[in-house]
Amino acid sequence: MAVSDTVVTYSWAFLAMYLVMIAGLGYWGWQKTTSQDDYATARGGFGFLALGFAYAATVASGSTFMGMPGMAYDMGFKAGYYALIYPIGAYLGMMLVARITKKVGDEAGSQSIPDFLGDRFRSPTLRLLASFIALFLLFYVMAQIVAAGHMFDTILGLEYEVGIWFAGGLLLLYLTFGGSNADIITDAVQGAIMVGIAILVFAMVLTGWGLEGGIGAVNANLEPAQQWDTHTNPDNPTFASWWAILLLFIAHIGFTAQPHLGNKFFAIKGTQYIKKFMLTAGIAGMVLPLMYLAGVLGAAQGIEVESADAIVPVLFAETMPAVVAAFLSVAILSAIVSTADGLIIAVSQIFANDFYRKTYVPWKGGDPSSKAVGQRALLISRIGTVVVTVVAVAAVMTPPEYLSIFMWIGIGGIISAYSGPYLIGSLRESTSKTAALVGFVAGFAVYFAIHLGPQMGLYEGLYPYNANPFAATGIGFLVSCLSTVIANQFTDPMPVDTRNEIFRGSTELSDGGVVDDD
């Protein structure tokens, strides 16, 4: 369904204002970016409030604002198990690792999560393996580009194939020069706006917007299989059983291990702000997934769309004044961009920092901390930003069916590999380098065997894991963590002197964990 010409006109006007805003913020970020570390992390550059909203917006992504409503449009209230469970797992994981990542990463000068793992375990091998696996973030980038393309198609009248290139250009407008400073400040503004929109959608569903009878009328107008008393569906791999739903929660505990999220911890001004940051991010992050209810409301109203993922802008266009619908739709477009920018920065750092500065330079006998190396790494970062964006856009000329599931092809591999070394290594100082490597390899191998292999057509696999990346990731997460713990019992623990050097400023606990001494 095409929106009215009036909505399109207003949407272009709001988009023009948005472009001016991000160009200005990009210039601000460029002025604050004088080194590779500035570009990669914006280290210590932000307070808890801005960073909390930026983190929540980055976690949410185009999946929350379009993919989950799209799933809810097709599946009904049961999609809420995904929308409402994932932030609980994701922010639980954040609370486990944020403080240690900030403290240890700042001490070591880590510029990415693969870099942090290499510094934490004094293992160039682990850094290199983690960097290769981090390239799976490209699937995540592609999913955001697809979401943006659908928005351009729906609210601005651009063909999808044109819209995705427009979205790529929009990202490069401020990322290429502003780096992480521009990424975080734009994400903070977009995150605050999106919290307001999610609350609005929640109120619309409670009042039965466009229907008579409140939320009860919304439920009554759905197909029986979509109503709130239908919880599982054996034919739907995502919600095939309660076990699959539990694994969805478990998978998200490791969600914060993704490089574009973990590197946000480096940007906070100091560890004394960590608690306030986590509280801000957690509250905002719990509100944003309420966007899934827009899909439920659209289905209840009988709105027809060519693509389920486009239900949010179409719902706004059909049920609200043109100027309001246009503003809300452009705000959602900006929120989608808020995840894509952080992802692109994270992928560019794989090449600039992890492959070049921390691997190639030492291998050639150079000094990775030299000014010349830093300037070359900064150049590689900016070139990498352009290349990653162009590749991501070119790869999604034909869009996938469900964004939420497509992007998890990459997310699942990263979480399955990283979770043992990152979570167990953050909680237990004594975790050995060998145990971390065992957990890394075991988690990814299991995820590949039960999900990626079947997805690549190598063999059929076992249902629902062959078709359910969340359940497969949940198992990969458990295997990675358990194998790290078990391997640590049969390997020599990290020497005390090394642990003290890595965890400088921390106090050891009797069980091998750490607490902050602030």
Confidence of residue 337 (pLDDT cuts 50, 70, 90): confident
Higher pLDDT, 19 or 62: 19
Type of residue found at 388: V
What was the pLDDT predicted at 439? 97
Domain count along the chain: 1
Q: What is the three-class DSSP state of 136?
A: coil
CATH number, position 461: 1.20.1730.10
What was the pLDDT predicted at 128? 93
The single residue listed with the structure tokens 């750490």 is 514
pLDDT of residue 393 exceeding 70: yes
Residue 46 DSSP one-character state: B
Confidence of residue 414 (pLDDT cuts 50, 70, 90): very high
The domain in which residue 172 lies consists of 5-516
What was the pLDDT predicted at 405? 63
What was the pLDDT predicted at 23? 78
Confidence of residue 3 (pLDDT cuts 50, 70, 90): low
pTM exceeds cut of 0.85: no
Q: What is the three-class DSSP state of 460?
A: coil
Instruction: Report residue 298 CA to chain centroid gap.
Output: 26
Residue-wise pLDDT for 96-133, tens only, equals: 999 889 988 888 888 889 999 999 999 999 999 999 99
What was the pLDDT predicted at 183? 78
Residue 230 DSSP one-character state: -
Dist CA 516 CA 429 (whole Å): 13
Higher pLDDT, 384 or 518: 384
Residue-wise pLDDT for 193-244, tens only, equals: 889 999 999 999 999 998 988 899 999 999 998 898 888 888 888 888 899 8
When the pLDDT of each residue in the chain is averaged and rounded to a whole number, the result is: 86
What was the pLDDT predicted at 512? 39
Dist CA 66 CA 155 (whole Å): 13
Nearest to 140 by CA among 275, 357, 342, 292: 342
Residue-wise pLDDT for 472-516, tens only, equals: 999 999 999 999 999 999 998 888 888 888 886 544 433 334 433
Type of residue found at 138: L
